[in-house]
Every structure is written in structure tokens, then in C-alpha cells.
Amino acid sequence: MCGICGVIFADSSKQKEYSKYVENMVKTMLDRGPDNSSISSYKNIILGHTRLSIMDPGSKIANQPIENDKWVLVFNGEIYNFKKIREDLKVKGYRFYSNSDTEVLLNAIDCYGVPKTLDKINGIFAFAAFNKKTKKTYLARDRIGIKPLHLHIGGDGNIYFASTPAAIALSLNKIWTLNYQSVLSFLHLGASNTLSTFFNSIEKVRPAEFITI
């Protein structure tokens, strides 16, 4: 279990302010990934990650955010068929420096693009991939929705996302209102069957959903 988070923004003059938001989001998710935490900043996006080292635990190369010349990736989950995909990518000339599925996912996205990569991978996952050249960000969640991902569009037009709704709610300096339908659903069923979280305006990315920003 790892934690991913980030903010996408238009006003690059406030990058330091937004970096603080992401740092706070990372801190709220240290229980999801106590082995490493870090953030990476770019002109209009800041990405954060907390890592629980299950696969290739001794490798710092598998720490995230992970990037190459074109892509930056934060990923939570497990790709079951990553070894097969890695062998296919080696034939295409890609080199690997760790035994992690994260590095395989990054190179698969680089080789095939996000939509085709989603067709190829099997597993449980939530990830955010940022293309440095096109400036597009892709958010994706596994087909069943095992790994969580949440999204908030602020009044400033910024887009915040994180593995937990609490990471967003506790990091932004605003007063949140409760979504009573979601709360009542949880109290009756033991789980919420709505697309909302307990907080109004923090939504769940749906299972199998793929968002381009």
C-alpha cells in the first residue's frame, strides 16, 4: 500500500504555496507508505508519493515520483503481469535498473501511451502520469476499484487528487461540509455506495475510470 497525491494548477507564481499543500498531503499518508516519501515539482503540476516497499525493497530507483525524459509517474498498486511486459519492452530496446513493476509501468506508458498501457496491464492500481511535453496529466484506476483515488476541483480551478480524501481535506485551508448521503450509506452498509466521499466536492475516481487533464 502506497499513497499518491498531487495538484494541477495554472498560476505558476504560486508554486511554493502549492508545494506546501502537497507536502501536507504526503504527511497525512505516511501510514500508507513509511519507507520513503518525496515530491517533484514542475511548472503546472506537483506530485507526491509515500512508498511501502513490497517489491524490490532495496532499490532506490523504485522510489517515486519516478520519471524519464518524457513522463513522470506516481503509482499505487501491483501489476501482476509486469514481467511479461518487461520482456516485451526489452525487445523494443528499453533497459531496466530495478525489479519493480513501477519502472515497467513507466516504460510501458512511454512506449505505448496511457490508453494502450491500460489495455495491457492486469492488476490493482491507481496512478497519475504527467507528460512533460504535452503537459497532459492522466489519472487512472483499476477495473474493480481496489486501489483508491480521490479528486477535488477547487474554487481556484486547481485540481487536487490523493489516495485518501483526508489528505485533501486536511491540507487545504477551507471549511468542508459533510455529504450526509455518503455518511448515512456508510452507517447503514458499512461502506459508501455513492461516488462522493464524506466531504462535499471530494469525489471518488470511479473503478476503470481514465481521466485526461
5 catalytic? Reply is no
**Residue type for 98, please?**
S
> Would you say 55 and 61 are in contact if contact means Cβ atoms under 8 Å apart?
no
166 backbone dihedrals φ, ψ, rounded to 5°:
-60, -35
Sole residue written with cell 481535506: 169
Q: Which of 2, 74, 108, 126 is catalytic?
A: 2
Go through 187-213 and write b for each residue having 16 or more CB atoms within 10 A of its CB, e for each that does not. Answer: eeeeebeeebbbbebbbbbeeeeebee
The secondary structure element, H or E, covering residue 32 is none
Catalytic residues: 2
